[in-house]
Structure 1
Amino acid sequence: MDLCKDASHLDLGFYAYRDKKYTQRYRSAWESDQRFKGWLQPYPGDRTRARCKICGAGFQAHLKSIIGHSSGKKHLENMKSSASKIQATVDTIFQPLENYPTKIAELKLAVYVTEHASDQSVDNLSEVISQLDNKSEVLQKINLHRSKCSRLQKYVIAPSFSKTLRNDISDHFSLFADEITNEGNLSCLALTIRYFSESKKRMVDTFYRLVPLRDSKAGDIYVTVKNCLMEDGLDVNKLMGIGTDGANLMVIHHHSLVTLLKNDNPEIILIRCVCHSLHLSASKACENLPTVLEFLVKETHTWFSKSPKRINKYTNLYKVLEDRVPKKVDGLASVRWLSRLDAIGVILDQWDSLKRHFEICQTSERCYITEQLSQAYKDPRNKLYLLYLRKVLKEVMRVNKLFQGQKVEVTILTEDFIDMYRNIMHMVIESCHLSKCAKENLPYLEFQNYILPLNEINFGYEFNTFAESCGSTSKELVCIKEKCRQFVLELINQVQLRLPGNVDALFLLQKLHPSVATSQSKGSIANIASRYRSVVRDIDELENEWDVLHLEQWPKSCLESSIGFWAEVYEKLDSAGNRKFPNISAFALALLSLPFSNANVERIFSDIMNIVHSKVRNGFSVRSAEAVLQIRYGLSLQGVTCVDFIPPEDMIRNFLAKAEEETQDNKDIVSLEVGIH
């Protein structure tokens, strides 16, 4: 009985083994077989199936099935068609570019639309152009609409300009990074780049990249920046400085974009935006003043901003009182007091007229805002505060405008910044103590024990004159002066907190001014060069070049600008055609690439938010916005417009190659002209 059971068990196992079916899997060796070469590939996600690239068909990974598909009628026809397309693509790529005037015309039209209009306008534009001359073959063949125009921008024109920019960056560079949010509430990282262009012999500030962020955290921003540099073949070790607006995720010490980048390159210099930092410093200092001042400035502008009737009424009153047309009260950002300096000046100049105007409106319009404004203008204390604000902010705004200038001598900015800082400190701090402090130590001065008493502070001629005639009590004047003193002290404190690193870097650049570099008694530069070993390979050689700069005869024209001077030094050759000062010139130009002047950067970010990603174009994708900016600033970098623009050879070749491609991916240019039949 047991034997029968055992035999039965063995028989069942034997037949079960015989019934098991063998499963053939795809073999990569088949791809080298001449019968299958060029079209056979594994089926995605299934190792038991194979796929034909030409037909797009899938079948079992059996040799018999593969041979059967290769001899099929449909496959043979597709193979012939594919061979002819490949030959046609090769023929078109190697034909002279002059044979494609229509392509060149379409590229120029796409560049024109990018520079001056939106993609929607190109639909009618191409049709209008084709009607201008019925005999012109080029105009009649133009076939450019918004979908094609958009794809040309993203996949043909913008990559060409981006490639030109990458090729122009030959050495060290700096980045300015800012996180922005578009109209669709999508967080993006905007990057601009500053570098010395050998071909143009000048510093270049231009748009670099606009990239969406998955998460507004320091780690995500760091990865995004690194990926951008890697994609474009830029070495992070050649990144001299990073400019930011001072946000915590950019500059905080323990975990930020700057600290993460310094793990890769410890020599990176952090440069906070000077203009933005001064704005924030003044805004923080204004918290020591009464809030009615902000209300007065803001609501005075708002009262007139949307009512021509009110403007005309006030203009007529002002003409009667002053016999001239009043200036407009500007409306500016609510958190930036420096940008309100012009508004404060206009309000003070028209104080009596505005006071009378709101007195009339208070009875005629019966509005709560006019009642509050009327009371604010009647209070002489508010005018005293604004008079002192104007006195202090004029000094700060002077330096702010210097940093916003397009043609700024960076090596002299240090003196202007320190002069402003010292002048503000002189308003409330003992002069004898300030005179003992060296300029480079002013940002670190502990001034709390050297504050002047109120009776020794000069609040200005206009303040003192109005204080004598306004009828305020001595107790009220003491309170006003104390708040004004606290305003200045807080302003000094905020500048110390936000900008010491900038001052250190600015002092480094002072030695690079032509008047210092060509002086016989300029001192050593080794202590500065030793901080940047990634830039300086041989400090002794650099010192030798630095010591003999004054022996050369330099053109007077280049001595007026630091960048022009060092560009001239960089190009100086010896009798053998080698550069005479390669080390010191490369070091100086690398330091001068630091992003101190923020004017071009802020204008670029303004273009992003106000022109490219506006409310009208809130559906504009980030990739499209980046392409538009790359083209616009690429044209500016080359010094041309859409009229002078000539499509380069690589752009035309790329257009021709894209026109021959067929793909089901909507991100590619699909059958621009040849494939749609």
Structure 2
Amino acid sequence: MSDSDIITKVKLHRTKCTNIVRNVLASYFDGDLISDIGVRKFSLLLDESNDILIYKLLGIVIIYYSDTQKKVVHTFLSMVSLETCDADGIVDALKIELVKKKLDIKNSLAIGTDNARVMIGVNNGVFQKLKKVPPLLLFRCICHSLQLAVSHTCAECLPINLEFLVSETYKRSSHSSTRQKLLKIMNSCRTRWLSIEPAVNRILSQWFELQTHFQTTTTKEKCFTAQTLHEMFCDSRNELYLLFLHPILKHVQEVNKLFESNNVNKTKLLEDLPNLIKSVANMIVLPTCRIDPLDPDASIEKFLHPKPNSGYRFERKIAEMIIKKTVTATEENNIRKRAQLFLLCLYKELKHHLPGNINILRNIKCFSVENIMQHFKEPILPVLEAMHLNEEKIASIEIQFNSIHLAKWTNTSNTEAFWLEVLEYKDTTGGRMLQILSIIY
């Protein structure tokens, strides 16, 4: 508040400042937010706290269209204390908080959660209990699903020494004064296997240097860990596994980053996950396989390729090792079988973590501006039926949807900007002609 001479001279200690924020500023901004939301449709993001406190908190983020800001707003709504951490406790706390905020739960369109059983449980999860009130859509955290799929696959199918190699290499060089910036080894997170991708890339690019470094360290320091790492860097099989693993982790990481990004076309985003699953499946099946990898009942085990390509760098390295006779035919066969098992397990895990309502979510692509501006459009009816709108409203929206491309629009390259323009579109009488259609976006 640098524009006020009085405020700039005010000095507050912790107690008084805390009470001003809680009792004055918070109530003002809270009322301003509730007034801005009004009776509009909204979506909620829910997540439990996982700290060490004796009580748990439920964080609530709300997503809605703001008339004052003329854009879709994602903002913090509330932090609620939970009496119990089961589904009933979370649902009760959420409903009480929405009543306090004067928000009707029937106006909620969707909720986004992580993949915890308490949130997405089929019978007694939070979503199932909330779905009894309005026709909600569930958006499970795709990033969390990808992390779980990769972590489980790596734990099941890869040698256990690989994670040791990556993590201990970082520990041995993280405090070095020379291995900085471009040469610095990246850290990996134990609970998130995708975080290991940049670390694997950096290690592969410095494989010989690290091998020499740990050889020298073993001689000088007589360190058992350094000796173990040196032996692992001398084992070309470890390098082969990392050469195979890196492009796959990178591919999954690219999809993961798309879902973490703020600058993507949200209407097309859910096509990337099925494409990732198809891509992984195509790496291990025969070219003659005609089974849809996304079919819940599909089984690709009968169509596995006897010797699938495991990536350019892997194939080049193993060819060199065969010529130099540093790997036997049995060892090569075992490594290839393990690589194939990894891809098969990853495919199954990704498919298992695919949202149950993925077909409905993929239909959201019908709202992309590219589809809207075409004469023959992707159908909107599956989305409308999933929202449980009445027949009269569905008929009105369908007519507007099929003829919307006939008007002249300014924002035809950005989907969100286009729909905000649609919301403000007015007919000759000054009325918002397409408000029924734009309200569902």
Cα displacement (A) at 1:511: 0.7
Residue 186 (structure 1) shift: 3.9
Match of 1:574, as an amino acid? Answer: D
* Distance apart, 1:420 and its partner CA: 2.2
CA distance in 1, matches of 2:82, 2:173: 40
Distance change (3 Å), C-alpha of 1:578 and 1:553: same
User: Which of the numbers 492, 498, 503 marks the counterpart of 2:353?
Assistant: 498
The residue type equivalent to 2:145 in the other structure is S
- Structure 1 SS opposite 2:422: helix
1:643 alignment partner in structure 2? none
The answer on 1:586 being equivalent to 2:439 is yes
Whether the 8 Å contact between 1:176 and 1:244 is mirrored in structure 2 is yes
Deviation track 1:387-406 (CA, whole Å, cap 9, x = no partner) reads 11112112111111111111
Post-superposition Cα deviations, 1:630-671, rounded to whole Å, max 9, x if no partner, equal: xxxxxxxxxxxxxxxxxxxxxxxxxxxxxxxxxxxxxxxxxx
Equivalent residue for 1:459, pick from 298, 306, 310: 310
Residue 154 of structure 2 corresponds to which residue in structure 1?
286
- Match of residue 418 from structure 2: 565
- Aligned twin of 1:408: 264
**In 2: Cα distance, 1:525 partner to 1:549 partner:** 13
Once the two structures are TM-superposed, the CA of residue 513 in structure 1 deviates from its matched residue by 0.9
CA deviations over 1:93-149 (Å, ceiling 9, x no partner)? xxxxxxxx99x767x66xxxxxxxxxxxxxxxxxxxxxxxxxxxxx4xx46332111
Q: TM-score w.r.t. structure 1 length?
A: 0.61
Aligned CA distance change for structure 1 residues 572 and 377 (closer, same or farther; 3 Å): same
2:217 paired with 1:349: no
Amino acid at match of 1:413: L
Structure 1 letter corresponding to 2:261 = G
Name the counterpart of 1:544.
399
* 1:211-610 → structure 2 map (5 Å cutoff): 211-265=80-134, 267-287=135-155, 288-305=157-174, 307-308=175-176, 311-312=177-178, 326-434=182-290, 437=292, 442=294, 444=296, 446-455=298-307, 457-470=308-321, 471-501=326-356, 503-522=358-377, 524-534=379-389, 538-555=393-410, 558-587=411-440, 589=441
Pairing 1:150-229 to 2, within 5 Å after superposition: 150-170=18-38, 171-182=40-51, 184=53, 186-229=55-98
Distance 1:296 1:219 in 2: 44
Deviations 1:302-347 (A, max 9, x none): 1122x34xx43x67xxxxxxxxx75211213112111110000000
> Helix, strand or coil: the match of 2:93?
helix
Give the 3 Å change call, closer, same or farther, for CA 172–370 of structure 1 in structure 2: same
CA contact (8 A) 1:289 1:487 kept: yes
TM-score (norm 2): 0.92
Secondary structure, aligned partner of 1:290: coil
Unaligned ranges ≥5, structure 2: none
Distance 1:232 1:105, change over 3 A: farther
Residue 191 of structure 1 aligns with an amino acid whose one-letter code is I
Query: Is the 1:525–1:543 contact (alpha carbons within 8 Å) kept by the matching residues of 2?
Result: yes
Tell me the alpha carbon deviations over residues 209-265 of structure 1, each in whole angstroms, 9 at most, x when there is no partner: 222223222211111111111111111111111111101111111111111111222
How big is the shift at 1:448?
A: 3.0
Aligned to 1:59: none
Residue type of the alignment partner of 1:328: K
Does structure 1 conserve the Cα–Cα contact (< 8 Å) formed by 2:371 and 2:378? Answer: no
- Determine the C-alpha separation between the residues in 1 that align with 2:286 and 2:269: 25
* Counterpart in the other structure of 2:12: 144
Once the two structures are superposed, residues 434-463 of structure 1 have per-residue CA deviations (whole angstroms, 9 ceiling, x without a partner) of 5x64xxx726361334442332x0111211
> How many aligned residue pairs are there?
435
Same amino acid, percent of matched pairs? 30
Shift of 1:409: 0.4
* Residues 477, 393 of structure 1: alpha-carbon distance in 2 compared, 3 angstrom cutoff: same
Give the direction of change, closer, same or farther, for the CA distance of 1:468–1:300 in structure 2 (3 Å limit): same
CA distance 1:480–1:189, change in 2 (3 Å): same
1:595 alignment counterpart: none
Separation in structure 1 between the aligned mates of residue 42 and residue 338 of structure 2, nearest angstrom: 45
Shift of 1:565: 1.1
> Once the two structures are superposed, what CA deviation does each residue of 1:249-306 show, in whole Å capped at 9, x if it has no partner?
11111111111111222x211111111110111001102111100111111111122x
Secondary structure of 2:367 counterpart: coil
Question: Which stretch of structure 1 is more off in the superposition, 572-581 or 173-182?
Answer: 173-182
SS state of the match for residue 501, structure 1? coil
Distance 1:459 1:569, change over 3 A: same
* One-letter code aligned to 1:464: E
Q: 1:254 to 1:177 in 2, by over 3 A?
A: same
Secondary structure of 1:212's counterpart equals strand
> Does the CA-based 8 Å contact 2:289-2:303 persist in structure 1?
no
Distance 1:360 1:536, change over 3 A: farther
Amino acid at match of 2:418: F
Q: Secondary structure at the match of 2:222?
A: coil
Q: Secondary structure at the match of 1:178?
A: strand
More displaced 10-residue stretch of structure 1: 510-519 or 537-546? 537-546
- 1:452 maps to a residue whose letter is L
TM-superposed CA distance for 1:536, in Å, is 7.8
Instruction: For residue 268 of structure 2, give the secondary structure of its aligned residue in structure 1.
Output: helix
Secondary structure of residue in 1 paired with 2:132: helix
When Rg is computed on C-alpha atoms for both structures, the one with the higher figure is 1
| Offset at residue 502 of structure 1 (A) | 5.7
Aligned counterparts of 2:355 and 2:295: Cα–Cα separation in 1 = 6
CA contact (8 A) 1:329 1:346 kept: yes
**Amino acid paired to 2:22:** K
Alpha-carbon distance between aligned partners in 2 of 1:465 and 1:548, rounded to the nearest angstrom = 55
Give CA-to-partner distance per residue, 1:67-103, whole Å, 9 cap, x none: xxxxxxxxxxxxxxxxxxxxxxxxxxxxxxxxxx99x
Secondary structure at 1:407's aligned position in 2?
A: coil
Q: The residue matched to 2:356 in structure 1 has which SS?
A: helix
Task: State the superposition RMSD in angstroms.
Answer: 2.4
Alpha carbons 1:454, 1:481 under 8 Å: kept: no
Amino acid at match of 1:577: G
Secondary structure class of the residue paired with 1:335 = coil
Higher relative contact order (CA 8 A, sep 6+): 1
Q: Report the residue type matching 1:282 in the other structure.
A: V
Cα pair 1:443 1:500 within 8 Å, conserved: no
